[in-house]
Amino acid sequence: MKEKLDFSEVPYQYAMCLNQQCPKADTCLRQLAEQSVPEEVEYWSIISPKRLNPIKGDCPYYRSNIKARYAKGFIGILESLPHKQMENVISHLISFFNRRTYYRVRKGERLLSPAEQQQFINILKYCGVSQPLKFDEYTEAYDW
């Protein structure tokens, strides 16, 4: 049985796929998004069928419907660090994210993807943080 998505969760202008013959169609977010489009939606963003036809093997547009673990906020991590080390970490994180995004991520307004979590951990290691730390919260979400 195919999974049904709530179309309101699909990102704005997310490119959907119309290739129902794809062997991975049952688990592809692009296919599942296409199948959940309400009738009142007049315009969609799709991946060109002309682009999909010559693809053999793994599809570069495939997005798994398995939810990923996103991190939400890291104020607790910063508070556990000595002041001087915390200043160094903040400086590197602002360089990585930019100032505005850093503050949004720190408070948990913007989630950190698994790849961004790894970058965050790499920055902590670079700054000499060795103890294992946990983000303030975690949530499961699709990796659109």
Instruction: State the chain's mean pLDDT as an integer.
Output: 93
Range of the domain at 2: 1-66
The tokens describing 46, both together, are 């799709």
Q: How many domains does the chain have?
A: 2
Which spans in the chain are helix H?
A: 29-35, 49-52, 75-79, 83-97, 99-107, 114-126
Q: Which of 36, 66, 96 is the last residue of a domain?
A: 66
User: Do 57 and 101 belong to one domain?
Assistant: no
Instruction: Give tens-digit pLDDT for 5-35.
Output: 889 999 999 999 999 888 898 999 999 999 9
